[in-house]
Structures are given as structure tokens and as C-alpha cells.
Structure 1
Amino acid sequence: MLEVRRLRLLAEFARRGSIAATAAALGYTPSAVSQQLAALEREARVPLLDRTARSAELTDAGRRLAARAGEILALVESAEAELSAQAGLPAGRIAVTAFPTAAVAFAPALARGLADHPGMTFVLRQTRPGDGIRQVQSGEADIALVDDWTGKLPEQGPAALEFLRLQRDPLLLVVPAGHPMADPARPVDLQALREESWMAAPAGEPSRAAVERLLDTVGGARPVPWEFEGLHTILSLVARGIGITAVPALALAADPGVAVRAIPGCDLAREVYAVVRRASLRRPSVEVTLRALYAAAREPDPGPPRND
């Protein structure tokens, strides 16, 4: 009989490619992972890993079983979700990962929405781009809040995951409160802002690419933004009058004390999704968390930008 816990380790090894990475992801020691995979080999009665002194990789049988392991784990989770749904009450631990601006923006509504469920234990963690989907796949997280500037993420995502659209998050111009462009009676003119000190996230960040696409519309040589790690750091600098920027609306949830303007003719925006394993959708704890996220996404911005 194959043990489900060991199948999970095998599936994770197939994703990570090494015993050390598998151990780090799941909170085990490399020795424990190696021992459990060896026990799974004894249960399967065929070699699942080719081991050398420095590395290990799946055999053909190991790859076939790892592929089946994903199906088996999904069926087990689906069965558990059905049993939980019959019980009716949300209970147990629910783990959500989110990109930083979503973590700040959605945390208050999540805390309010889940306060009436004392049987639940809630964890919200920030994660780097790309990690949220992987963590939901591996079972480290139940829900991931992810952003997508391409419009293609749901079609490219793993079939075992559901991508639930929460909202469209437009790119907005942000200037210091005393800046001339802060006046809502004054039309936004990007050409007039060409020589300003623009600030943006480091190269390679999705929001940086959006700012560069915006600046490309101004014409001439693109201004080179100063680079700072973290949108909240950038907004704090704008609030101090040090420069200007353009950020997605969600980044403004912390009320940074800046002037925000919509950009006429600009359709640059990201889509925000909640990603969840299809097999866990019927779990009451997942359902109530998703309801809280939908409610948060529908809440109006405290200070909506004005179109001119």
C-alpha cells in the first residue's frame, strides 16, 4: 500500500528536482526526505530514484508514479473537502500567500470576514512573484493572490488550479501633494512630466515594465527611473516630494499621503486573481476565505482618482 504522505514528497521532488529543495519547501531535513522516499520505493517495489553521491533524479517508474501522485492527492483532497462540506462549519488552518501590495490591501477585509469563524486558524504571508502558484500546487498554501500584466496567466496555469478573477488594478499617476499636477483641475500631461525624477521598481519587476511602457508613450528618449525595492518605499519617497511614479491602484491602500491621478488614454492594468486547488474548492474554510476576498475586491477605494 502506498502511503499518501510519501506520495506528496515524491510529487514535490518531481517539481523541485532535488532532495534539498524538497526538504526546504516542506520543512523537513534532507535526511528525512531521503528516508521517506526510500520507504516509498520499498512500498512500490521498484526503484523510483537514481541516486549518486551528489544528486538524485527520477527513474522512468518514478516519473510515472509522480504524475499519478498528483491525481491521487487531488482525489484525496476532494474527498476531504466533501466531508468538510457535510460538516458545514469552517475549521482548521487556512494559509494565504499574496504579493506585497495585495497583502496590505486585502488583510483588513480578510481579518473582518474571518473573525466570525473561531474554528479557523488563518495565516497570511507575502511572497515573491511566481512563488504563490507553486506554493498552492505543493499544498504549502491554500490560496494565492497573484497578479498578471499579460492577460494570459489563467490559460498558462496548471490544470489542477482554479484562477478566480478578483479585480482589475489600473496603473495610476502618483505625485507629491504639493506638485502642480496634484491639482484635479489641471489636466494630466505626461509630456510635461518628462524631465521629472521618475521612480520605479527594479528592472525585471512587472510594475517596472508597466512604467516603462507608459513612458514610451511620451515620445523621445524614455526617462530612466531611479530604482527602489518595494512600491511602498517608492510611495513614501513621493510623499516626501522626492519624485513621481506610476503604480497600480492596490499599492495605494495604505494611504501614503500623495496625490493620485488617473492617466487619460492609459489602459495599462494588471488582473488580480485568487488561485486555489480545484480539489479544495468545496472546503468550507476555503469558501469563506474566498467570499472575504471577493468582498474586499468590491470595496471602493478610499480616495478614488479623478478623471479629467
Structure 2
Amino acid sequence: MHPELTVVAHETGSTTAAAAVLDRRYDLAVIDDWSAHPPAEGSGLSVHRLRREDIVLAISSDHPLAGLPGPATAARLRQIVGDRTWLCAPAGQLSRAAGDQRLTSVNAVPPRRWEFEGLHVLAALVAAGAGVAFLPAGIAREQAGVTGLRTAPRMQRTILALTRTTTREDPAVTACLHAVRQALGSGR
């Protein structure tokens, strides 16, 4: 559709993406924000909200609590986390900060903590019975052997695209933003 457009993709942390867009290292950044209040536009940054998704407590499908109805309340979270290895992103990642905040708020203390890059890696480890983790509901659903328990209170993440306000009308940025929206709309 845009034969002259060359796209170069880089993986970077969500916490550094805004600065990279503002200093022109990237024209567009797609990030997941696990905070209750995603960033607002301002200071030369345009924020495009692309998708909102629930976060679930991911446990292996053979876990004794996998078949019980109801959400992962504070008591259930303490029970599950108290006897399992906690799987999470490394410190400094937004998903890690949100997970740590929830665990602290309900006084859930995991006996062990393993850190891994990548939510799909965490999902595979949960499926293998290596531990439990907070994961986006879509990733938990995709992974065979994983059951996602709703959280109460609800946790969510927002998929955002960040661009500079000065590139709002740039055809290349517009085409890339459209492609990202299409990809997320199709469930990929």
C-alpha cells in the first residue's frame, strides 16, 4: 500500500519510549502502560490510545484453584502467591511496577521471584508450572495450559502509540499508526 515507506522496528522499554520519540530517535513508539492513569498529551507528545485490556492472575490450568469461580481477591491472591514462585519482568518495567504495587497492597509475599523479559515467556513458564504471574488476558488466553483469574479490584493495561505533535499530519507516521491500529483490531 505504501511501497516507498521503509519501517525499521526496535524493541525498547516503555519507560524510555517517550523520550526517544521526543528526541527524534523514533517517529512512533507502541507501548503498554500498566498504570491506572496513562500519560497525557503535552510537551510535544501525542498519545494515541489503541486498546485497553484486563490483566489477570495467570496460573497453570492444573492448579487446584484454576476451576474455582470468582476473581482473584486479596485473600485468594495471597493464597496463590504464598506457595508459588512469582514470575515477573525485571525491575524498571511498567508491568513489574504494577504487579509489585498490587502484591504490596494486599500483603502478598511470594517465597521466590524469577525475572524474565517478555510476557509470552512468562506465559510459557506459567503453563509449564514454574510459577504464577500477572499477564494481559489475551496472552493468558493464547497460551495452552494457562488459566487467567480476573483480579479484584480490576487491573488493566493500555496499549498506546506515541508520536510527536509535529508529525500529526506526516503521511508515513499516519500510515504506520493505521497499520498498528489494524493489527491490534484483528486481535494479533
TM-score scaled to structure 2, two decimals?
0.79
Distance 1:279 1:168, change over 3 A: same
Choose the corresponding residue for 2:63, options 163, 176, 179: 179
Q: Would you say 1:244 and 2:132 are equivalent positions? A: yes
> What corresponds to 1:270 in structure 2?
157
Greater per-residue strand proportion: 2
Distance 1:201 1:225, change over 3 A: farther
Q: In 2, are the aligned partners of 1:235 and 1:258 still within 8 Å (CA)?
A: no
Choose the corresponding residue for 1:279, options 159, 166, 177: 166
Choose the corresponding residue for 2:37, options 147, 151, 169: 151
Equivalent-residue separation in structure 2 for 1:263 and 1:125 (angstroms): 32
Greater per-residue helix proportion: 1
Aligned pairs for 1:68-107 within 5 A: none
Aligned pairs for 1:158-307 within 5 A: 159-183=43-67, 186-188=69-71, 189-193=76-80, 194-216=82-104, 218-219=106-107, 222-230=109-117, 231-249=119-137, 252=139, 255-300=142-187
The structural deviation recorded for 1:178 is 2.3
The structural deviation recorded for 1:200 is 1.7
Distance 1:287 1:253, change over 3 A: farther
Q: Aligned Cα RMSD in Å?
A: 2.7
> What corresponds to 1:140 in structure 2?
25
Distance 1:137 1:175, change over 3 A: same
The structural deviation recorded for 1:177 is 3.0
TM-score scaled to structure 1, two decimals?
0.51
Q: Which runs of 5+ in 1 are unaligned?
A: 1-115, 302-308
Distance 1:133 1:204, change over 3 A: closer
Q: Which runs of 5+ in 2 are unaligned?
A: none
Q: What does the per-residue CA deviation read over 1:216-242, in whole Å, with 9 as the maximum and x for residues that have no partner? A: 4544x6225412121333222212111
- Aligned amino acid, residue 298 of structure 1: G
Q: Would you say 1:124 and 2:9 are equivalent positions? A: yes
Q: What does the per-residue CA deviation read over 1:48-101, in whole Å, with 9 as the maximum and x for residues that have no partner? A: xxxxxxxxxxxxxxxxxxxxxxxxxxxxxxxxxxxxxxxxxxxxxxxxxxxxxx
User: In structure 1, the residue corresponding to 2:2 is in which secondary structure?
Assistant: coil
The structure with more radius of gyration:
1
Distance 1:281 1:121, change over 3 A: same
Q: How many residue pairs are counted as aligned between the two chains?
A: 181
Distance 1:288 1:204, change over 3 A: closer
Identical pairs, percent: 29
Equivalent-residue separation in structure 1 for 2:96 and 2:105 (angstroms): 15
User: In structure 1, the residue corresponding to 2:83 is in which secondary structure?
Assistant: coil
Q: In 1, are the aligned partners of 2:57 and 2:151 still within 8 Å (CA)?
A: no
